[in-house]
Structure 1
Amino acid sequence: MPNSDFHALRLQTGISIEELSEKLGYSTRQVRRWDNGEQPAREIALRTLRDMLTDTTNVTPMPPRFTFIDLFAGIGGLRRGFDSIGGHCVFTSEWNKYAQQTYATNFRDNHPLNGDITQVQTSDIPDHDVLVAGFPCQPFSIAGVSKKNSLGRSHGFLDEAQGTLFFDVARILADKRPAAFMLENVKNLKSHDKGRTFEVIMKTLREDLGYHVWHKVIDAQHFVPQHRERIVIVGFRENVPFSWDDLQLPPKGEQRLGHILHPEDGSEETEAPYTVGSTAEVNAKYTLTDKLWAYLQGYAQKHKAAGNGFGFGLVGPNHVARTLSARYYKDGSEILIDRGAGQNPRRLTPRECARLMGYDDDFRIPVSDTQAYKQFGNSVAVPVFREVARIMQPHIQAVMSGESQMKVAV
C-alpha cells in the first residue's frame, strides 16, 4: 500500500495523531507530516495502522471504563489525561469565560459547561467514579476547635476549609464518594501558609473523608522542554497498591525547544496569525520592539549588578525553557527566543506555547493571543497527567470492580 494512504488508514482506525504518536514513539509533528503527505510514512507506522484496522473491524466499541468530573477545568489539560485511559467526562466546571470558550471548542460534550463551582449544589452533580481538579491554592483560616465547640459549631473540613475552593472539592468527595480522585497544584502548596494549607488538605482527605492518599512533585521536563514542577495528589476510596514507582518518566533533557518551535522552513503548514508566508515563518508581531528589548536588557543589567539574576530568559533550540507563566502575555521575558546577533528576540507564539504544554497541534486556539498566553500559562503539562492517569487506571478499575462485586453479593 503506498505511503499516501497513511491518512486514510488513520481515519479508518479512528486513532488521533496524538494517540498514534504515543503508540509509535514518534513526535506528533513527525506523525502529522506523514498524515499531511509531507513525508513518506515509515513502514512500521503503516503496519501498525493496518494491524489496528484488522483488530478493530466488526468489533463493537467498548463502553467507557469509568466516568469522571473535571473541576477548575481551565482548557482541559487534566481531562486529556483521563480521556486517554477510557474515561467519560460527565460534568465540567470552569468560571473563566475565555477558558470556557477554548474548552468548548475542543471538547464536544453531552453536558453543559458549568461556571462557578461554589454556586453548584452537589445534588446537581452526576454520580461519578473519579474526581479530577486543579484547584487554586488558598490559605485556610486558623480557628481553635475548643472555641468552635463552645459556640456549637462543627469542625473538621466543613469548617477549616470553608471559604476556600478546596472546600468545594471536599464537599463533593463527601457527598459523592467516588472511587478515586486526582488533584493538581503548584509545588509550593506544601509550604503555603507555613505548611498549614497542605496539612489541612491531607487531614481532610485522609482523616475526615477516609481516602488513601499519595502525593508527589513531578517535573514536566521529563516530557516537554520546560522546567515545570507541580504537586499531584491521588486518592482511592479503598486501600489499593498504588505506587509512584510505576511512573515511566523519560530522562530529563531529551526534549529541547527545537522540538516545539516553528521550523520556519516550509515543513509545516502556515497557521495564521502565528506563521506567515510559504515557508511558515513566525509572524513579525512576535518579535520584541526596540523599546521593550532595551527595557528588558536595562532591567536585567540593574538586577545583575545587585546580584539578583538576569531578569529574562534568552533561549534557543537546544535549550530547556523556564516555567511558562500566565503573565507571559505582558512581555514574554521568561522565555525569549534568540533570533541571532543583531536581531531582537521574539516571544513564543501561542501554538508554540501549546506544544510546550504538551498539546497536540489538533488543539484549537479560538481566543486572542493575550488570553491564549494566560490559558497555557495556567495549564498543566498534558503528558504528565496522561502518565499519572495511566498508573491510576488499574486501581480505579479495582475499586469499581470491588464495589460491583459487593452489590452482586448483596
Structure 2
Amino acid sequence: MESLVSTLAKTQNVETRNGRFTFIDLFSGIGGMRIAFSRQGGVCVFSSEWDRYAQKTYFDNFDVLPQGDITQINAHDIPAHDILVAGFPCQPFSIAGVSKKNSLGRETGFQDKTQGTLFFDICRILEAKRPKAFLLENVKNLKSHDKGNTWRVIQESLNQLGYEIFSQVIDGQGFVPQHRERIFIVGFDRQRYGNFYNFQFDVENQKPEKVPVLRDILDKAVDKKYTLSDKLWEYLRNYAQKHKEKGNGFGYGMPDFDGVTRTLSARYYKDGSEILIYQGEGKNPRRLTPRECARLQGYPDSFKITVSDTRAYKQFGNSVVVPLVTAIAGRVVEKMEELDAEENQDHRW
C-alpha cells in the first residue's frame, strides 16, 4: 500500500496555472494550511503526509495524493517553491504528549526518534531548496519544553540556515468560537533579504466584525448517536466531581451557546468531554458532529468528510484554525512581496 501511494503521488501532475506564489505543504494533514495559502493566491506544488486516512481526506478534497513519509523523500526531488508551510508533529512537544511518553518511559522532544526529529527534515529541505519564506505551526508550549532547550535548538537551527525568524503565540478565538492557542514561526531568507526589517503578525484587524460563537457552528438536527450514553455521562460527572473535590479543574466542558469552546483535541473521539453540547433538562448532552468540528476549525461546509467519525475527529483535532492561518498567510505573502520589491529596487541601482 505504501509503495502504491508513493508511486501514484509521484506521477501526479503539478498544478501549472499561474499563481501569486508557489508553496509546499509538509505534514499536510487534511489540508488546512493548503486552503489558507491557496486563498491568498498560492499554488501548491508539493504535499507530504504519512497517515493514509489523512491522505484520503486530502485526495478527496484536492484531487492530489500527498507523498508519504517525509524522511524517505529526497529534498532535491521536491519542486522549487517560494514558501515552505509545515504544521510539524507536535506530540513530542505538547504537555499531553510529554506526559504520556514519560509514563511509558519513552523519550521526548528531539530525542524522540519517530517524531521529534522530523523538524530536521524541514531543515534539510530549507537548506536544499532555499525558499524565500516559511511558516511553521506547533503547540503553544513549544518554547517552554525541556526548560527552553527545544526552542533554543529550533532557533539555532533556523538561524544557522540563514533565516530571520519571528514567532508569536496566537489564539484562534475571534476567528472561530474556540480557544485554541498555537505558536506560529515565520522566517525569511537572510541571504536574499538581509535582516534590516521587522515582521508583525498583526491579525487582530482581520477578525470578522461579528464575533463567532458556538451556536453559529451547530446543526439544527443531529443524529441521536451523538448523544452520550447514560453510562458515559455518569462516568464524566463522577470524574469531574472527584477532581473538583481535590481542587483540580479537570472535567468535562459544556460551553455557553453564545460563548466559545475549549480546544478541540485529537482525542475528542474517545468521549467528547472537552466540548459537550447541552440538550435540555432530562436529556444527556451530546458530542459535536464531525461537520461541527470542521466548522469549529473554520473549514467551509464544502469540505468533504469521507472517513469514519473516529478518523474525522482525530483529523480535525489535529488540524489548524483555517481563517487564522489564512490571515497569517496574507501577512507573510505581503511581507515577501514587499521584500522582493525592495530587492529589485536595489538591483536596479
Aligned to 2:11: none
Assess if the C-alpha contact under 8 Å between 1:247 and 1:387 holds in 2: no
Q: Report the equivalent of 1:121.
A: 74
Contact 1:247 1:391 in 2 (8 A): no
1:68 to 23, 31, 34: 23
2:10 corresponds to: none
AA aligned to 1:116 is: D
Return the alpha-carbon distance in structure 1 between the equivalents of residues 174 and 77 of structure 2. 39
The SS at the match of 1:299 is helix
Structure 1 residues 284 and 246: alpha-carbon distance in aligned structure 2, compared to 1, 3 A threshold: closer
Contact kept in structure 2, 1:221 and 1:252, CA below 8 Å: no
Cα distance in 2 for partners of 1:182, 1:394 equals 13
Q: CA deviation at 1:108?
A: 2.4
Tell me if structure 2 keeps the 8 A contact 1:221–1:253: no
Counterpart position of 2:154: 201
Matched, 1:259 2:240: no
Question: Is the CA contact (8 Å cut-off) linking 1:247 and 1:388 kept in structure 2?
Answer: no
User: Which SS does the other structure have where 1:315 is aligned?
Assistant: coil
Structure 1 segment 369-384 matched on structure 2, within 5 A:
369-384=309-324
- Matching of residue 337 in structure 1 with residue 294 in structure 2: no
Match of 2:118 in 1: 165
Q: Is the 8 A contact 2:203 2:327 kept in 1?
A: no
The structure with the largest alpha-carbon Rg is 1
Indicate if the aligned counterparts of 1:93 and 1:113 stay in contact, CA closer than 8 A: yes
- For 2:208 and 2:340, locate their aligned partners in 1 and report how far apart those are by CA, in whole Å: 34
Distance 1:402 1:252, change over 3 A: closer
The alpha carbon displacement at 1:320 in A equals 0.9
Partner Cα separation in structure 2 for residue 183 and residue 332 of structure 1: 28
Q: Write the letter of the residue equivalent to 1:373.
A: Y
* Equivalent position amino acid for 2:319 in 1: S
Which residue in the other structure is 1:215 paired with?
Answer: 167
Instruction: Determine the structure 1 residue equivalent to 2:103.
Output: none
Say if 2:228 and 2:285, in contact at 8 Å, map to a contact too: yes
Residue of structure 2 equivalent to 1:391: 331
Deviation at 1:309, TM superposition (A): 2.1
Q: Does 1:248 align with 2:188?
A: no
How many residue pairs get aligned? The number is 307
Q: 2:13 maps to which residue?
A: none
2:294, 2:316 within 8 Å by CA — same for their partners in 1?
yes
Q: Which amino acid aligns with 1:170?
A: C
TM-score, scaled relative to structure 2: 0.83
Q: Is the contact made by 2:203 and 2:328 (CA closer than 8 Å) also made in structure 1? A: no
Secondary structure of 1:181's counterpart equals strand
Compare 308-317 and 365-374 and name the one that shifted more: 308-317
SS of 1:258 mapped into structure 2: helix
Deviation at 1:301, TM superposition (A): 1.0
Contact residue 253 and residue 275 of structure 2 kept, 8 A:
yes
Contact 2:240 2:252 in 1 (8 A): yes
When residues 232 and 93 of structure 1 are mapped into structure 2, their CA distance, relative to the original with a 3 A threshold, is same
Equivalent residue for 1:97?
52
Amino acid at match of 2:205: Q
Q: Cα gap change, 1:375/1:314 in structure 2, threshold over 3 Å: closer, same or farther?
A: same
Distance (Å, rounded) in 2 between the aligned partners of 1:163 and 1:323: 23
Gaps of 5+ in 2: 1-16, 94-109
Which string of whole-angstrom CA distances, capped at 9 and with x for unpartnered residues, describes residues 121-172 of structure 1? Answer: 1111111110000012447xxxxxxxxxxxxxxxxx9xxxx97010000000
Percent identical: 60
Aligned twin of 1:227? 179
Aligned residue number for residue 77 of structure 1? 32
